[in-house]
Structure 1
Amino acid sequence: MRQIDKAPETSSMPLYRQLQESFIADIKSGKLKPGDVVPSTYALTEQFGISRVTAVRCYEELKSLGFLTAKRGGSTKVNPGLHFATSNIDEVVLDLSAPDKPLILHLQRPPLTLVPFKSWMRTTQSVIDSVIDNECNLSSVAQLKASICRLLRLTRQIDCTPEQVLLFDTKTQAYNFIARCLIDKGDIAIAESSCDERLTSALCEAGSDMQLLSIDREGAAVDHLGWRVPGKLLALSPNAQLYSGAVMSERRRALAVKFAYETGSMLLEDDGLALLRFGKTPEPSMFHQYKNVLHLGCFGAYLAPLTELSYLVVTPEFAQSFAEQIAAATATEARLEHSVLNTFLQSGQFEQHIFRQKSLLTKARQEALEFVLSNLRDIVTVGNGCTGYELLLRFHSRFDKHDLGQLLLERGLSSRIFSSPESTRFELSLPLAAPTGVLSALKDALLTLKSDLETMDERNGSESFQPDQVESFAVGAMGNPVCA
């Protein structure tokens, strides 16, 4: 790893950024390979003589970019899903046989341009001043849970008590808790084909036989679940399907509840980015529609990297049945992060932040749609999702997947592409909130790609695409086990 410059006069780049660039260079050069364990933040502190805060920020940035991955209680590693070319093209190589998992994880975190750093820091300072000046204690976990209950009642129509709210440091920790409580070896767990890889990992480690649901315009295709082997867990994201943003129809929701009721399955409702649904309020939660529903939410979806705190709303029966596991796995002692988030919620700043995010994203989405429809409609269709920080574009099926993959690589677009194994098409994630220079470069690359594809069409003698052609929207297939 390259030496970093500690003296400010020798480099205008912040220390954490120097360290970040050094890691990226080592990963791309092959010195650090996918799956390799990287030094701990304490080791970096000793090696470079930097603060641990700098080291932590570096790793958080690398994780948000998809270069590193980490599990609670485990080592931080180079993301196993990364693949790099040995040629002179300094870009991530497309893996044509598997989804781009780093990108899927990236889609769940807000762009840094939308993170309320200043208001969060002001809230943090006010909490610290209050503790010092008044010699009072930090807000208790119970107070934070009460604030979350008020938020859920207001935004998601969930009526619950603080005792029903379980707090976790991260969403990964929540997934692991759910898997440990509900899954025994050989149990069937049913999830969406493009579900969060942290959920997949937790269920597989618990020994589940995991089955996947395809995704279409109505969300997860639960229509034929009734005649399949009953699952122990049915995990859905009805308000903001990852990654398409598809919202599950009322008909599909009713079918999912019916299946869970008839089979005795636990239904996990992952709320994802539901609060950012464009032009509409989120659909009501399924929590009160069926007795065995768990509602999972993560503040990191809107506030990362400021906080990754997650919450799981459970039924009183669940809380009683798994009391020991809950006591061992959930947050019980107050921390500064809890107090800051509690104040952020109580003061109404969180709702203000969501309103601001939605306003900015709605405007950016309209501008992105105008660009796509004016310039790219001959090569892509726009996904039907209406939630999140990205606009999902699907390349037309007439393009050969391998040839298109090579062009995407050459144009520097490969890091924003993913595809399911059974799909013949690539999908591209167009960011709605990015620095102007980044977005301009991305648009220029797409226009160049369009020219390349038109040339390829002429060479192959393909007929031009007719805009009124209807393209199917489906991802994944039910019944394919994903756990080895």
Structure 2
Amino acid sequence: MSRSDYSWIYPSQTNDGNEAGSLSAYRRLYHGIRAAILDGRLHPGERLPASRDLAKSLGISRNTVVTSFDLLTSEGYLETRVGAGSFVAGSLPDRDMHADPDRKSPTSKTASDRPLRLSQSVKRMLEYQRRFPRFRVARPFNPATPDLDGFPFDLWARLLRRSWRAPDIDLTIPDDPLGLPLLRGEIAKWLRQSRGVNCHADQVMVVSGAQQALDLIARALVDPGDIIATEDPGYEGIRGVLASSGAMVHPIPVDTEGLCVDGLSQTRSPARIVVTTPSRNYPLGTTLSLARRLSLLQWATSNDAWIVEDDYDSEYRYDGPPLSSLQGLDSDNRVIYVGTFSRVMFPGIRLGYLVLPPTLIPAFRGMRGFADGVPAPTAQAALGTFFAEGHFGSHVRKMRLRYGERRAHLKSLISETAGDILSVMPSDGGLHLCARLIAGHDDITLQEKMVKAGLDCRALSSYYHDKSPENRENLPQGLVLGFAGWKKNALSESFGELIEIINRSN
């Protein structure tokens, strides 16, 4: 290489734009030589200067040059020839992939120029991606926000530390894809006592949340072209994860008695799975009546179908004890029960569970090994102890009283100050209220205005399956108002802002 100045090979910046000064000297030289090789300034077979000469030219130590050359040689960028020195490798198949974009030829394309090829699975999923705004800090009236101030995080931290003081084999080398035995046993006990679920620990699978539970169910039980029936309105995230399997998502209307079971007979073929929220539809809050529960179970047996019972926040019922589960009525093992701790505790815990019919346990155990193996055990161990020492039940009872007061406060705000604008729909629990708009307002337009004002309010019509422009006028207009995460004075202040926005929209 007949060059007298090698300063260009010891850059002030790396080829990704980062300051080279933050790198060690040998890494800085390494990045400079590699970039020169990949963008063509150093050619295959070209000889590099001797390490002593290059060190003197750049004003760095010879050891720095030798270390850089060794690393480049081990990665295949350089070749060493005994007695001759170091040369640029003759074959570098990834040259064009890593070329400096500022030096590319006029006909070359960057990754952003090339058409992106996504799988059909992802394309189907993205059709249902949530369109709600995202605030970095939870704002009124987000319907999924619990009261984080009410959770005993100091206690939780102590339980996490205790788990690691003398960890047992299940924690250090977890090998059961279903989850830690302690937690599964406590979940089964809680569900039997509080929800009337007919289960034992061997049927419980710990997952990272309800979304993963649905993903596993779809992988195990659904083939492309199968029909999955979902509630309409319903949580859009459910439709997205199920649609990725290639299934046809078919909406079934919900009325004052819950899912309209008769609608299941209107599909071109029997649905493979029905996903329902019998304790409380999201977002309407309606409960599936006993007559329809029995009818749905009979339908599943007659059509060799599965029922997924999504029980997302049944701990919070204010007009009596929690309702018994649909699974508890199932005598034919057709119901897969899904629950989550994100709302009853805090969203970041990322833990939920499945209660599987016995016949599905081997398949789900094996499949989980190919998904994410074994769920992370640390939080599981702490949660198992949180249950076993009675903290979970105590927390639920405390928060049920607190949320009940906030719910009553929001209902009184609506009836006393906005009775001519909003009408609260009947519901006996949950972390939100659903209120119909009495006047002729467009809830999507109102949601956009409220977001600009810093209110995380949800439009009722956005939860319906068919949101096409031609169907917009047929959809109920309303607001979904979460109350759990804010004190009464914050609810009063935010509700006043909400009403002002609605009045200005007239």
Q: Does 1:317 align with 2:359?
A: yes
Matched residue of 2:182: which SS? helix
- Between the aligned partners of 1:355 and 1:294, the Cα distance in structure 2 is 26
Residue identity matched to 1:361? Y
Sort the Cα spacing of 1:348 and 1:331 in 2 relative to 1 into closer, same or farther, 3 A. Answer: farther
Deviation at 1:330, TM superposition (A): 6.7
The code of the aligned residue for 2:312 comes to: G
> Taking CA–CA contacts closer than 8 Å with sequence separation of 6 or more, which of the two structures ends up with the larger relative contact order?
1
Letter matched to residue 344 of structure 1: F
Aligned twin of 2:216: 177
Q: Which AA in structure 2 matches 1:249?
A: S
What SS does the aligned partner of 1:163 have?
helix
Give the AA of the match of 1:207. G
In the alignment, structure 1 segments of 5+ residues that lack a partner are 1-72, 85-90, 93-101, 457-484
The one-letter amino acid paired with 1:268 is V
Displacement of 1:382: 0.4
After superposition, the Cα gap between the structure-2 partners of 1:430 and 1:173, relative to the gap in structure 1 and judged at 3 Å, is: closer
The match for 1:194 is 233
Aligned position for 1:448: 500
Change over 3 Å in CA distance of 1:156–1:415 after alignment to 2: closer
Paired residue type of 2:153: F
- Deviation of the 1:374 alpha carbon: 0.7
CA contact (8 A) 1:219 1:248 kept: yes
TM-score between the two structures when normalised by the length of structure 2: 0.64
Counterparts of residues 49-448 of structure 1 (less than 5 Å) = 81-82=130-131, 107-131=143-167, 138=171, 141-228=180-267, 229-288=269-328, 289=330, 290-329=332-371, 332=374, 335-399=377-441, 408=450, 413=455, 415-420=457-462, 421=467, 422=472, 423-435=475-487, 438-448=490-500
Asked which structure has the greater CA Rg, the reply is 2
**CA–CA distance in 2 between the matches of 1:402 and 1:390?**
18
Seen in structure 2, the aligned counterparts of structure 1 residues 215 and 311 have a Cα distance that, compared at 3 Å, is same
Q: For residues 105-157 of structure 1, what are the alpha-carbon distances to aligned partners after superposition, in whole Å with 9 as ceiling and x for unaligned?
A: 953442323433233223223334454xxx88749712221111111111112
Which residue in the other structure is 1:49 paired with? none
The CA distance in 2 between the partners of 1:334 and 1:223, in whole Å, is 42
Q: CA RMSD in A?
A: 3.3
Structure 1 residue 253, shift from structure 2 partner: 1.1
Is contact 2:437–2:479 with CA below 8 Å preserved after alignment?
A: yes
Deviation by residue 1:270-306 (Cα, 9 ceiling, x = unmatched): 1110111112222222224242110111112211235
Does the C-alpha gap of structure 1 residues 236 and 418 become closer, same or farther in structure 2, counting only changes over 3 Å? same
Q: Which amino acid aligns with 1:240?
A: R
Deviation at 1:232?
0.4
Does structure 2 retain, via aligned residues, the 8 Å contact 1:380–1:394? yes
Aligned length: 360
Distance 1:207 1:312 in 2: 22
Aligned CA distance change for structure 1 residues 82 and 327 (closer, same or farther; 3 Å): closer
* Residues 324-360 of structure 1: CA deviation (Å, up to 9, x unaligned): 2244347647722111011001011111111011000
Q: 4+ residue runs of structure 1 moved beyond 6 angstroms?
A: none
Alpha-carbon offset, residue 317 of structure 1: 1.1
Q: Conserved in 2, the CA contact under 8 Å of 1:108 and 1:273? A: no
How far apart, CA to CA, are the structure 2 residues paired with 1:286 and 1:356? Answer: 26
Q: Secondary structure at the match of 1:371?
A: helix
Amino acid at match of 2:291: R
TM-score (norm 1): 0.66
Give the share of equivalent positions with the same residue, in percent.
23
Post-superposition Cα deviations, 1:222-275, rounded to whole Å, max 9, x if no partner, equal 233235331000110111221222211112212211221111111111111011
